[in-house]
Structure 1
Amino acid sequence: MTAPSATLGHGDRASGPGTHRVWVELGDRGYPVDIGPGVRRTLPEVVARIGASRVVIVSARPEDDAVPDPGVPALRVAARDGEPDKNLANVQALCERFAAFGLTRTDAVVSCGGGTTTDVVGLAAALYHRGIAVIHLPTSLLAQVDASVGGKTAVNLPAGKNLVGAYWQPSAVLCDTDYLATLPAREWTNGYGEIARAHFIGAGDLRGRPVEEQIARSVALKASVVARDERDSGLRHILNYGHTLGHALEIVTGFEMRHGEGVAVGTVFAGRLAAALGLIDDRRADEHFEVVSHYGLPTALPAGADTAALVAAMRLDKKSTNTGKSTNTGLTFVLDSADGPRLVPDVPADLVVATLGAMEREAA
C-alpha cells in the first residue's frame, strides 16, 4: 500500500495572511478546513452558508471571545472535556440540551475544544434528529492536526476506546492557531505525536516547519486518505500508524499517558516491529526513533508497563475486529515497508512481546 502524498487542496489559501485551506473532497458532503490565526472569526459566514437559524455552542474554553457570535440566536453550553467524560451519558446530556433549546434538523452545533470535545459533540450532532450540521473549532494541536477532520465520532466504553460512534462529516473546520498560544507544554507534546507519525505515512519531513504548515500538511494527508476511504474499509487504516500500541498504553495507564504520547511510543514500536519482520531495515527503524525524539516525545514504554496487559488491549484494536484477519495468537498492525505503510495481520504475539521487551531494555 503506497502512502498518499500530502498536498493542500483547492483554494490553498483561506482568507488572511498566513492561512491555509484544505478541502476534504467528499462530493456534496465535502467541506473546507481553514488553518491559521484568526480563522474562527469566519464562523458567522459558515453559519450563514449552512442556513441555520439557531446554534448550540459547546465550548471547553471559558474566554468570552473563544467562539465568536455566530450571527443567529445561540445557546452556550460548557463542555465536559477529557477522557473521563467521553461517554454516552455525556452525549445524551448534550442531546437533551439541544432539544430544550429547540434545535431542528436544519440548525447547527458548534464544538470548541480538544479532541474529546470534538468526538462527543460530533457524535451528539450525528445522533440528534438523525444528524444535524456541526462546525468544529478545535483548540488543541492534537485536535487541529487529527481529531476534528475526517468525520469519525466516537465515545469510550469500559471495554475500550472509541467503541461506540458514527461517521458524521462536519460542515466546516476552523483551526485557529491563535488558540494554541495558551497551550501548556504537554498539550503541544500531545499534538506532536500525530505530526511525528505523519512523517511515515506520506506527509513528508515536517521538522522545523512553521506550525501552520505542519498542521496543514497533516490535515491535507488525512483529507486525501478520507476522500479515498471514508469508512475505514482499507486505505484509511494507515492513519492508525502507531495507534495500536498507543491506544493500549492509554488504557493500561488509566489515561495517565496522553493520546499523542502513546502514539509517539507506538510509532517507535512500529518501526522496531517492522524491522523485526524484515519489512524495513534498521536504518529506517532508527529514523522512527529520531523523528519522534526530535519533537521531544516519549520513545519508551512507561516504567512498570504490563506487557501482557498491553497485548490484551491491542487485541481489541478495531483493525483486528474489522478485518477478521487476526487469530488467537496473531495481532494486526499498520507497519512501514519498502512499498509504504500497510496493514499486516497475524503478527506473532511472541514477536510483539519480544519487541516490547527490547524497548524496555533500551530504556533501562
Structure 2
Amino acid sequence: MTEPPMTHRVWVDLGERGYPVEIGPGVRRLLPDVVGRIGAARVAVVSARPDLDAVPDPGVPALRITARDGEHGKTLANVQELCEGFASFGLTRSDAVVSCGGGTTTDVVGLAAALYHRGIAVIHLPTSLLAQVDASVGGKTAVNLPAGKNLVGAYWQPSAVLCDTDHLRTLPAREWTNGYGEIARAHFIGAGDLRGLPVAEQIARSVALKASIVARDERDGGLRHILNYGHTLGHALEIVTGFEMRHGEGVAVGTVFAGRLAAALGLIDEARAAEHLDVVAHYGLPTALPADVDIADLVAAMRRDKKSTNTGLTFVLDSPEGPQLVPDVPPDVVVSTLEAMDRDGDRDRHGVRDRDRDGESERCTA
C-alpha cells in the first residue's frame, strides 16, 4: 500500500475486525487500496461534500448519494432512504459503503451499513475535525429520536477510516470549535495535554486514546464510558437549544461542568476543577451555559441520557484514580452546580479566538 508522506496511522485492535485509522494530508487517496483489500465489486458513496474530488474514484462501479449532514438528518427515515438506494443499486453483503462528511454522516451511514443485509462493510472519510478526532472511530452508529440523542443505533466497526487533513482547510471557524470540544475533554481522560500541538498530532493522539479504550471495551461494558466525559450535559444542551448549540460546544461546557460537579462531590479539589475551565478556554471554546436555557429542562434531558439509571443521574467524572462513572448523583447537587455556572449573556460563545483561527491552515500541513 502506498502511504502518503507525513501521516499517522493508528490501529484499532479488535482481532480479525481490527482496522487502520490513517491521518494526514492526502490519505483519502488510499480509498481504492482499501476497497481492493475488502474485495468489494461495487460501492455506494454517501457524501456531504459537493466536490467530487472529496471522494476519489474507488476503482469499482460506484453509486453516489448526497448525504444529509447535520443533526436534523440523524433519523431512521434517512437510514431507510439510504438502504433503499443501496438495494436499487444492487449492493450485496460482499460490497461496501463509503461515507464522506461530518460526524452525523458517519453515524447515519454507519447505521445504514450495519442494518443493510445485516451488515455490509463501511469505510469512513470524515471531513470535519469532530468526525476525525472522535465520531468516525470506534464503531458506534446511531440516530436520534424526539426523546433524545443517539437512542437508536448499533455497534458496527468500519473497515478503515481515512482522516484526510486536507479536508480541514475549508472548515469555518465554528466547525473548528465543534471539533476542539472533543480534544479539550480528551485532556481529562488520558490523552495528555494536547495544547499547542499540530492538528494532525492532536487528532492522532485523541484517536490513539480512543482506539486503546475501544480495544478493551468495544460495547460500553465499563471502561468505554469515560469517552462520554462532558457529554451528559453536552447532549442535554444540544437538545434543549434545538441543536443551536453544536455537539463540541455542548461537550466543552459539559467538561467545565464535570469539573465543578466532581469538586462539589469531593472527588477533586478546586485547582483541578479550575484546570477544566483553563483547558476549555484555551481552545476558544464556550465555557458557560447559554443565557436562555432552563435548568429544569437540562436536568430532564440528562435523565434521559443512556447512562442514567432508574434511580438517578449518572455522570463520568474526574477523581484521584482518573475518570469514572458515577451513578445516582443527587439532583440537588446537580442543580446547585448548574446554577453556579456562568451564563453567556452577550458574549460570542460560538467564536474561535483569533490566534487559534489564524493558525489552522498552517497546522493542517503538519
| TM-score grouping bracket, smaller chain normalisation | over 0.9
Structure 2 counterpart of 1:298: 286
Question: How is 1:230-245 mapped onto 2 (pairs within 5 angstroms)?
Answer: 230-245=218-233
Residue 182 of structure 1 is aligned with which of 165, 170, 179? 170
Change (3 A) 1:264 1:14: farther
Which residue of structure 2 lines up, in the alignment, with residue 5 of structure 1? Answer: none
Q: Residue 298 of structure 1 aligns to which amino acid in structure 2?
A: P
Which 5+ residue runs of structure 1 have no aligned equivalent? 1-12
Q: Distance in 2 between matches of 1:303 and 1:14?
A: 51
Instruction: Identify the residue that residue 330 of structure 2 maps to in structure 1.
Output: 348
**In 2 relative to 1, CA 137–143 (structure 1 residues): closer, same or farther, beyond 3 Å?**
same
What is the rounded CA distance, in whole Å, between the counterparts of 2:237 and 2:199 in structure 1? 27
8 Å CA contact retained: 1:37, 1:177: yes
- Secondary structure class of the residue paired with 1:319: coil
CA distance in 2, matches of 1:362, 1:155: 29
Q: Which amino acid aligns with 1:215?
A: I
51, 54, 72: which is aligned to 1:84? 72
CA contact (8 A) 1:14 1:35 kept: no
The alignment covers a number of residue pairs equal to 346
Preserved contact between residue 120 and residue 155 of structure 1 (Cα < 8 Å): yes
- 8 Å contact kept, 2:289–2:343: no
Matches within 5 A, 1:181-200: 181-200=169-188
Structure 1 residue 334 corresponds to structure 2 residue 311: no
CA contact under 8 A between 1:35 and 1:175: conserved in structure 2? yes
SS in 1 for 2:188: coil
Question: Is 2:48 aligned against 1:66?
Answer: no
1:135 aligns with 2:123: yes
- Given the alignment of the two structures, is residue 55 of structure 1 paired with residue 43 of structure 2, yes or no? yes
Change (3 A) 1:346 1:14: farther
Instruction: Indicate yes or no: 2:245 matched with 1:257.
Output: yes
Counterpart-to-counterpart distance in 1, 2:274 and 2:258: 11
What secondary structure, in the 3-state scheme, does the structure 2 residue paired with 1:186 have?
A: helix
Contact 2:290 2:344 (C-alpha < 8 Å) held by counterparts: no
Alignment match, 1:268: 256
String of CA shifts for 1:120-146, please: whole Å, max 9, x gaps: 000000000000000000000000001
Q: How far is the alpha carbon of 1:60 from its aligned partner?
A: 0.3
Deviation, 1:282, is 0.4
Q: 2:83 aligns with which of 79, 95, 108?
A: 95
Partners of 1:177 and 1:212 within 8 A in 2 = yes
1:126 and 2:108 are equivalent in the alignment: no
Partner of 2:339: 357
Distance in 2 (alpha carbons) for counterparts of 1:182 and 1:361: 31
TM-superposition CA deviations, 1:304-335 (whole Å, max 9, x none): 21000000000011111xxx4x51xx311000
Q: CA deviation at 1:360?
A: 3.4
Distance 1:163 1:351 in 2: 26
Note the alpha carbon deviations across 1:171-229, whole angstroms, 9 max, x for none.
Answer: 00000000000000000000000000000000000000000000000000000000000
Q: Which runs of 4+ in 1 moved over 3 A?
A: 360-364
Query: Pairwise mapping of residues 99-114 of structure 1 onto structure 2 (< 5 A)?
Result: 99-114=87-102
Amino acid aligned to 2:174: R
Task: State the alpha-carbon separation in 1 of the partners of residues 122 and 294 from structure 2.
Answer: 40
Alignment of 1:301-312 (within 5 A): 301-312=289-300
Task: State, as a whole percentage, how many aligned pairs show the same letter.
Answer: 84
1:257/1:155 CA distance change after superposition, 3 Å? same
Deviation of the 1:16 alpha carbon: 2.6
Map of 1:8 onto structure 2: none
Query: Using a 3 Å threshold, how does the CA distance of structure 1 residues 14 and 351 change in structure 2: closer, same or farther?
Result: farther
Give, in whole Å, the separation in 1 of the partners of 2:343 and 2:171: 33
Distance 1:239 1:319 in 2: 12
In the TM superposition, residue 114 of structure 1 has moved relative to its aligned partner by 0.2
Q: CA deviation at 1:90?
A: 0.3
Summarize the Cα distance change of 1:27–1:218 in structure 2 as closer, same or farther, 3 Å threshold. Answer: same
Structure 2 counterparts to residues 154-233 of structure 1, below 5 A:
154-233=142-221
Secondary structure (helix, strand or coil) at the match of 1:291 reads helix
